Amino acid sequence: MTAADKHSSRSFYVAAALGIAVIMFAGFARNYYLRAWIGTRVISFMVHVHGVVMTAWVVLFVTQTLLVAKHRIDVHRRLGIAGAALAAVVFGLGVFTIARSIERHKPGAGPQLFMELFVAFDGVSLLVFACLVIAGLINRRRPDIHRRLMLVAMISLLPPALGRLIAYFTYDNVELIVLCLMYACVLSCLVVDGWRHRRVHPAFAVAGLMVISANQVTYFAQTLTP
């Protein structure tokens, strides 16, 4: 890869990271980030904790991407240790938040209904996030695999933000629109990767398929679960 290609590749990952951060902020602006000015719903202490942790994760991801773009791999690797711990907290709090949401919507739900709702509330995407982050950490010495897995792991967290963002404009077919947007996000990465390198990297292909499959299963669960 030439120096120009490397610069262009870094620019793509920086742009993708910033785009994800913007989507996250916009999606949760009304009910979290700008709640003091435009929000109306009272949120619990644990929701605040979840919001702080997720914000820290997004900020860390953007920071890590910028560090690589600035050739500060030494700092990137040191922050990666904290990132691994933070990712575990993101996953744990995500499971807790989904469980609490299920309790609010369907108190006393039995095991079968609980699992159906867990899938419908983006639980599978959360599991995919955990798998991709673990795989990314295992391959941290292989930058071509590591950066792709970590980017797709971030994309896997977008559905809740996208759903809230769409709901600003319409409540019709929100689940279907989110599914289409997730397809668009993953396919855009595959197209850019294929165009730049004359082939799609296997890590992108496998990770992208995992995210698409998770969102397809989630959509089916959302349409079938009462």
Could you say which DSSP state residue 33 is in?
A: I
Q: How many helices (H) and strands (E) does the chain have?
A: 10, 0
How does residue 9 score in pLDDT terms, banded at 50, 70 and 90? Answer: low
Range of the domain at 112: 3-224
d(CA 192, CA 198): 10
Q: What is the pLDDT of residues 63-78, one digit of tens each?
A: 999 999 999 999 999 9
Structurally, how many domains does the chain consist of? 1
d(CA 184, CA 119): 21
CA 222 to chain centre: 19
Q: Are 150 and 60 in contact (CB under 8 A)?
A: no
Residue 208 has pLDDT above 60, yes or no: yes
Q: What is the pLDDT of residues 19-29, one digit of tens each?
A: 999 999 999 99
DSSP letters for 80-116: HHHHHHHHHHHHHHHHHHHHHHHHHHSTT--HHHHHH
Residue 51 CB-half CA count within 13 A: 16
How does residue 4 score in pLDDT terms, banded at 50, 70 and 90? Answer: very low
Residue pointed to by tokens 């769409």: 166
Residue 17 has pLDDT above 70, yes or no: yes
Residue 3 has pLDDT above 50, yes or no: no
Q: What is the pLDDT of residue 8?
A: 55
The reported pTM is 0.92
Q: First vs last Cα of the chain: how many Å apart?
A: 52
Q: What is the pLDDT of residues 91-118, one digit of tens each?
A: 999 999 999 999 988 888 888 999 999 9
Tokens of 24: 């996250």
